[in-house]
Amino acid sequence: MLNTFCFGYHVGYKFVETGTGECNGNFLGIGADDCNRAVLVEQSAAFGLLIANAEFTSFHGDDPTMVEVRDTNKGVVRISNSAFWGPCNQIAKVGGTGTVGFSDCTFVEWGEVGTRAAIQASSGSVLIRGCEFRQDKLHISLGAAIDRAVITGNLFAGPAKIQNASGKDVQIGLNAAL
């Protein structure tokens, strides 16, 4: 999918499993503006959803969140070179048993209500590499059910604020803070 855009939807892009399987593919230059959920992943294929050069904003409706990967997901989601902004509650809520990765992304606004992390990962595996967190708020929260995580090479406004409740293999390093 190339250069698509949606505005004002409850869910901008939704990925599900049907009788013929789950989604995979290359989504380049997509955008979702003024959505409650810019991206909602209920299920993705093991070989992945590949989202690059995207722009997402979520600021209306109940609990505006840019990316939600539900607990039902067993596949792979990769988001790279993308920008996230707008007065949302959080950038990403990640669950499931799959792997979700953010690389070379810019996160501008989150935490409109409460003190949630920009990226809240409750389970599965997470890669967060080379991203810029442009607010001095809670950046990343890893839940107890995280299997593994790598958080490297990121830029943080203020000191890095990473909560890690996982007792498994979590690698955090080579990050820089103001």
Place of tokens 């708020």: 137
Bridge pairing between strands 21-28 and 17-18:
antiparallel
DSSP state of 164: E
Residue 11 scores a pLDDT above 90: yes
Cβ-based neighbours of 110, under 8 Å, separated by 6 or more:
84, 88, 89, 90, 91, 116, 117, 118, 135, 137
Measure the CA angle with vertex 26, ends 103 and 98; round to 5°: 60
Strand partners, 41: 15, 69
Distance of alpha carbon 36 from alpha carbon 167, whole angstroms: 33
Residue 81 has pLDDT above 90, yes or no: yes
Provide the pLDDT for residue 65: 96
Domain residue extents for the chain: 5-177
Q: What is the pLDDT of residue 60?
A: 87
pLDDT digits (tens, 9 = 90+) for 13-65: 999 999 999 999 999 999 999 999 999 999 999 999 999 999 999 988 889 99
First to last CA, the chain: 37
pLDDT tens string 94-151:
999 999 999 999 999 998 877 899 999 999 999 999 999 999 999 999 999 999 999 9
> Residue holding tokens 């995580």?
149
Say whether pLDDT at 76 is over 80: yes
Distances (CA, A) of 123 to 5, 12, 37, 104: 30, 24, 20, 22
Residue 8: count other Cβ atoms within 10 Å of its Cβ. Answer: 11
How much is the pTM? 0.96
pLDDT band for position 78 (cuts 50, 70, 90): very high
